[in-house]
């Protein structure tokens, strides 16, 4: 196995820095690789997830929710994917100091996926936190992403689904979050828009319909400290 770059730190289960919330999983990662501000693992996290092929409105909503929830004291967590994930990460970083985002990756932390997010990944590593259960050198595989999603779900107080088609990976995150007792929120859209079919399905199954970040904050208990 290749050596771990100095900027990447390994945390094993049982370590004082290992997030206790991951122990709610039936298969907690035996270790995590992290790069960035380790203190963010102790912060209240809110996941913002959604379609990789989000609409312009979806990207705008992702940015709006990310910034509003960050201003309220939440650390924004997502999966570094195209679309909604990237918009949420960028919007949080755009607020500057004292606003943080955490990206859970489906690769080793020395490999950017998608490649176009290389710059975003580097910025999060400097100003936020990158997390993976995969060691350096491990590239993307299809089965990595559901595993990534379970970490996002477990670390979060709640999951906000911005846009999601009927078979979106975001639904995996949302359903795992529900099974773990986390709050699940979904934005509604036109009933005939396939980009919202997954959101509507979640709402039918009990997710809270949300129209604004305030709707999310009403359900989550953590220190609300607007900056």
CA 1 to chain CA centroid, Å, is 28
Query: Residue 223 domain-assigned?
Result: no
Task: Answer whether residue 3 shows pLDDT above 70.
Answer: no
Q: What is the pLDDT of residue 42?
A: 92
> What count of Cα atoms within 13 Å lies in the side-chain half-sphere of residue 30?
2
- Tell me how far apart the alpha carbons of residues 132 and 53 are, in angstroms, rounded to a whole number: 23
**Mean pLDDT, residues 148-153 taken together:** 98
pLDDT higher than threshold 80 for residue 6? no
State the Cα–Cα distance between residues 163 and 187, nearest whole angstrom: 7
Q: Is 2 inside any structural domain?
A: no
SS3 per-residue string spanning 40-53: HHHCCEEEEECCCC
Percent of the chain with pLDDT over 70: 95
In this predicted model, what pLDDT tens digit does every residue of 109-140 receive, in sequence order?
Answer: 999 999 999 999 999 999 999 999 999 999 99
Residue 190 has pLDDT above 90, yes or no: yes
- Helices and strands: H and E segment counts in the chain: 7, 9
Q: What is the CATH number of the domain that holds 137?
A: 3.40.50.450
Mean pLDDT across the chain? 94
For residue range 70-90, list pLDDT tens digits in order: 999 999 999 999 999 999 999
Residue 199, domain member (yes or no): yes
**Is position 4 within any domain?**
no
Residue 178 banded pLDDT, cuts 50, 70, 90: very high
Residue 11 confidence (pLDDT) above 70: yes
Q: Decide if 227 is inside a domain.
A: no
Residue 41 CA to residue 16 CA, distance in Å, equals: 11
Answer for the pair 49, 170: CB distance below 8 angstroms, yes or no.
yes
Q: What is the pTM of this model?
A: 0.95
* The predicted structure's pLDDT at residue 223: 61
In a domain, 88, yes or no: yes
**Is residue 174 in a domain?**
yes
Task: State the total domains in the chain.
Answer: 1
Per-residue pLDDT of 22-65, as tens digits, reads 999 999 999 999 999 999 999 999 999 999 999 999 999 999 99
Q: Supply the range of the domain harboring residue 147.
A: 9-217
Secondary structure letter of residue 1 according to DSSP: -
Q: Note whether residue 77 is domain-resident.
A: yes
């Amino acid at each position: 196995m290749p050596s771990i770059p100095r900027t990447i730190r390994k945390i094993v289960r049982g370590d004082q820095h290992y997030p206790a919330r991951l122990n709610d999983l039936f298969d907690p990662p035996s270790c995590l690789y992290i790069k960035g501000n380790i203190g963010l693992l102790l912060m209240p996290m809110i996941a913002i997830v959604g379609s990789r092929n989000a609409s312009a409105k979806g990207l705008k909503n992702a940015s709006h929710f990310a910034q509003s929830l960050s201003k309220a004291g939440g650390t924004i967590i997502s999966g570094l994917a195209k679309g909604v994930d990237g918009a949420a990460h960028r919007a949080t970083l755009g607020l500057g100091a004292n606003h943080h985002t955490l990206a859970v990756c489906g690769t080793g932390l020395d490999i950017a996926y998608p490649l176009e997010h290389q710059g975003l990944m580097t910025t999060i590593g400097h100003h936020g936190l990158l997390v993976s259960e995969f060691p350096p050198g491990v590239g993307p595989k299809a089965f990595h992403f559901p595993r990534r999603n379970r970490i996002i779900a477990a670390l979060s107080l709640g999951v906000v689904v911005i846009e999601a088609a009927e078979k979106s990976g975001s639904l995996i995150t949302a359903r795992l979050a529900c099974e773990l007792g986390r709050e699940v929120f979904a934005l509604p859209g036109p009933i005939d828009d396939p980009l919202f079919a997954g959101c509507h399905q979640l709402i039918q199954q009990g997710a809270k319909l949300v129209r604004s970040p305030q709707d999310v904050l009403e359900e989550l208990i953590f220190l609300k400290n607007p900056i």
